[in-house]
């Protein structure tokens, strides 16, 4: 049985993983006064910090402090995504604008420390962007299925965004060498980002392809330059309501 500390370790690892792509920043940001990811650190067993800086010399910044037990409570990846959404929106706007109050704590790197509340995490869930959910999904598909019984069934070979709210994912079935496109929605019928795409998508795909190398789903395109045909997987992402 896992301990609380192991759960919090896992929460920090996920938080670190989703933040790492921000290290690149926009082109030219290394010399521009745009907020950039400065660091992701473990403050102690129960807290992690994500720091941004608008200072090209990286001598100051703002660090949001995240409670790891709060992230793990009623565990979903959505809360980690919400922290990323908060950093990309609220914290980016706050960094480098008004001077921070002198009453706030700072760390040894000159980062002003701001605690992220449960209410702010809940609010940030509404700003989670589709590309965040795709990032999780692609990471898992690249690493491959977890279960050995469905391992080595397919390879994730790429993707293409299209239509403003859809993504076409490309895979190659390893046994046959046939490539397929998998068309999925990114926005639900209410205009909200579809969350939790990565939860079981790759494993379900491997199990269904492992049977006979095909998917019994609607075919929507047989003239894609990058695959033999394209399946529409809306029913996987948004199952019909009974």
At 130, list the tokens. Answer: 């589709």
48 touches 68 (CB < 8 A)? yes
Which residues on neighbouring strands pair with residue 113, listed in sequence order? 63
Does residue 242 sit within a domain? no
Do 42 and 106 belong to one domain? yes
Local confidence pLDDT in tens for the 242 residues of the chain? 457 888 889 889 888 888 888 888 666 555 555 688 899 999 999 999 999 988 888 888 899 999 998 887 665 667 888 898 888 887 777 665 545 556 788 999 999 999 999 889 888 888 888 888 888 888 888 765 555 545 688 989 999 999 889 999 999 999 999 999 999 999 988 888 888 777 688 888 988 888 788 899 999 988 999 999 999 999 888 754 44
Domain boundary among 74, 93, 127: 127
Provide the CA 176 distance to its chain's centre, in angstroms.
31
Does residue 97 sit within a domain? yes
Do 77 and 165 belong to one domain? no
Total domains, the chain = 2
Do 137 and 118 belong to one domain? no
Do 86 and 26 belong to one domain? yes
Q: pTM, whole model, 2 decimals?
A: 0.75
Quote the DSSP letter at residue 36. E
- In degrees to the nearest 10, what's the CA dihedral of 141, 144, 148, 154? 80
Does residue 56 sit within a domain? yes
Domain boundary among 111, 127, 143: 127
- In degrees to the nearest 10, what's the CA dihedral of 122, 124, 126, 128? -130
61 touches 52 (CB < 8 A)? yes
Largest pairwise CA distance in the chain: 65
Q: For residue 157, give its domain range.
A: 130-237
Does residue 17 sit within a domain? yes
Do 114 and 41 belong to one domain? yes
Do 94 and 109 belong to one domain? yes
Distance (Å, whole) CA 142 – CA 221: 24
112 touches 97 (CB < 8 A)? no
Does residue 155 sit within a domain? yes
């Amino acid at each position: 049985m896992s301990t609380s500390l192991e759960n919090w370790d896992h929460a920090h690892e996920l938080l670190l993983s989703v933040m790492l792509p921000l290290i690149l920043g926009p082109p030219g940001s290394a010399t521009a006064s745009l907020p950039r990811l400065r660091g992701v650190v473990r403050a102690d067993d129960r807290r992690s910090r994500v720091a941004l800086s608008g200072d090209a010399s990286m001598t100051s910044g703002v660090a949001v402090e995240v409670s790891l037990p709060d992230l793990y409570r009623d565990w979903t990846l959505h809360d980690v995504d919400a922290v990323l959404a908060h950093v990309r929106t609220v914290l980016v706007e706050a960094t480098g604008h008004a001077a921070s109050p002198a009453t706030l704590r700072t760390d040894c790197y000159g980062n002003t420390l701001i605690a992220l509340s449960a209410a702010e995490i809940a609010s940030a869930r509404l700003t989670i962007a589709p590309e965040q959910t795709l990032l999780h999904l692609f990471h898992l598909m690249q690493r491959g299925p977890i279960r050995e019984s469905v391992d080595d069934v397919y390879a994730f070979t790429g993707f293409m965004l299209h239509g403003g709210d859809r993504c076409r994912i490309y895979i190659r079935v390893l046994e046959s060498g046939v490539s397929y496109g998998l068309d999925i929605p990114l926005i639900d019928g209410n205009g909200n980002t579809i969350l939790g795409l990565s939860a079981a998508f790759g494993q379900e795909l491997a199990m269904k392809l492992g049977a006979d190398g095909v998917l019994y789903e609607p075919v929507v395109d047989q003239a894609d330059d990058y695959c033999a045909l394209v399946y529409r997987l809306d029913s996987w992402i948004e199952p019909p309501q009974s």
